[in-house]
Structure 1
Amino acid sequence: MTYEQATWRKWLYALYVYILIIGSVFVPHRWIGVKDFVQANALHSYEPVGWALGYLFGDLPKFRLEVVSRNLEWWICLPSRPDIDELSSLDSGWVQHLRHTVIGDANTRLLLSAYCLAVITIGLIVVLRLSPVYEVDTRRKVFHFMMVAMFAPSIYVDPTFVGLALSIVLAIFLLLDLLRASQLPPLSKPLATFLAPYVDGRDLRGPVVISHIFLLIGCAIPLWLSLGSLPRSGTGYLEGWEVPTREVSMVAGVICVGLGDAAASLIGRRHGHRKWLWGGGKSLEGSVAFALAVFLGLLAAHAWLRIGGWPSSTELDSLGTTASKAGFCASMASLTEAVLTGGNDNVVVPVVLWTCAKSMAI
């Protein structure tokens, strides 16, 4: 087989794979159709594309006018106008008041999306500027701080939207890395080139680059667990897509991965001289930094819950009680991170921190 023939065969195979991917998502099918599965099991039989359009753009006046004038309400789900008197009587805090009565739920989601895109843009600029100067581990921690900047303030604002966004982004990451590992044109080379400066030894053990995937999973799992344990509300096409209460454990993954892991790595690598007795390379200094960062993160999350005025799923304690609970949770997470030398701590430790925060009712 000549080089030209091999190239043509590779492009034909890539086209075949792309057609299969698009077909499995959008082509209606009872068993393999992703769209049909989501429609039946998550959206109460509402069509996913129309549901998503209303979910994001339903509060824009021009969008609503176009939908109504073109008689597309059978397809695109428009949110009902809120009852101001009813909403104002609810004790839900000033952030919820702004979201429901001033900005609008759908517009709030657009603002959160724009905010996250701005953080990603700034983070990528910083990473590209650091690449020629700093080592791989320092550059990778920028992505950890990006996760904190994006999700720590926004999870309480609309937990279900953030949970949905994390699910979609995780699916996209898995698909893109599958294409990269399969060396399918035209996406494989640009993806491999972009990821190359941030790959460490763990990523070289197999064909899949796992670091960014496990970073995302570590941030998402505690939020998903909290959403699964809290009561749901909502009416119409948003039935089950509202969470009336909030809890600190929602942000356990962001705090653990974004703050704790980054602090442990940055401090441990530079000042970690005292190693744990059981080996594994973890240092006492790094573990202390991890615990301190998680402790401060839990206190900040508790303060944001109070400042925002969201109803809490548990009774809010005094500052001293909260600090003692946060210290215990941070210590347990730090000890787990120090002991866990063979597994991926970006996944296991957030679950441990979520369990502690949930059981301690921070």
Structure 2
Amino acid sequence: MAKKKVGIIFGGKSAEHEVSLQSAKNIVDAIDKNNYDVVLIGIDKEGKWHLNDQSSYLLHAEDPKLIQLNKSDDAIAIVPGEVNNQLIHATDALGLDQLDVVFPIVHGTLGEDGSLQGMMRLVNLPFVGPSVLGSAVCMDKDIAKRLLKGAGIKVAKGLTYTRAKKSKINFQEAVELLGTPMFIKPANQGSSVGVSKVSTEDEFHEAIESAFHYDHKVVIEETIVGREIECSVLGNADPIASKLGEILPRTEFYSYESKYIDEKGAELSIPADVSDEVTKKMQQVAIDAFETLQCEGLARVDFFLTKNGDIYVNEVNTLPGFTKISMYPKLWEISGISYSELINRLLELAIERHQADLSLKSSV
């Protein structure tokens, strides 16, 4: 059987650019080379797309603090409406070899917020992960939590302000509703980018300014005192949940540095030390959240588990990290799915979903 061509799109313009480079490296290293040929498409921080060679696509690949995209001289462009030449070389307009499926491992803004997913739909390419709606909804912490709350799933209390309403943000009002300490977050960022934990009024206003650097909408949330538990979900119409893992941060909270740069920034307890009863309950809530937010393919559901057994969903991440210290693939490894097999299943789910989309009528 002929090998399938897999386009791995990575990098991007977001604050999570370097995380994406690490994720791409791990996927390239682990993908089954007997069944897949890899086509590397790196997006630089200016948004330009580069066709990269596997031997030289990264600089300082082994150092998360210095890792960089090695920009190529072969820029590529996208041609919507084409059947076989959706991607072309920008210099001579010659088409790239037809891709069978795309793994878009671009974290953060313009990568997992529905933007890239919409582009893949426009050019009629199957891709890993949720489609436009699920990606956009999960990226927006405000909208996601409104939907989860409406479905009867517990989430932290919070306040949301757009930049236009910034003058109405009041520290005392926030304290009265949420208490201290509280968390301040950009509504549309991941990987703890722009997130602050604050207790004083000075910290509060400084954190608000910082969050608005990353987004036009800011979320202020109460602190839920509890264990940080995570669950990986895999599937389309009939998703399954992995065993649970626990984050034991060695810092104030599970920061960007702890997640992706400092391997000693947090201890991962895998599997989490929780009862079978609680495990089954959290796995079901993970699947419920996955389906409520219209996810497909994959997502990682992050929880808080309180001392009295209350389960709060903190976040649903539709394109979780695939670095060597990332929880999503680690949880599937202990659940019986190896890294290589996980990538294979994700690609198969992408093609399955695409085939289902093609069966829909596009005209009356």
| Bigger Rg, structure 1 or 2 | 1
Confirm or deny a common fold (TM above 0.5).
Answer: no
Higher percent of residues as helix: 1
The TM-score, its normalising length taken from structure 2, stands at 0.27
Give 1 or 2: higher strand fraction.
2
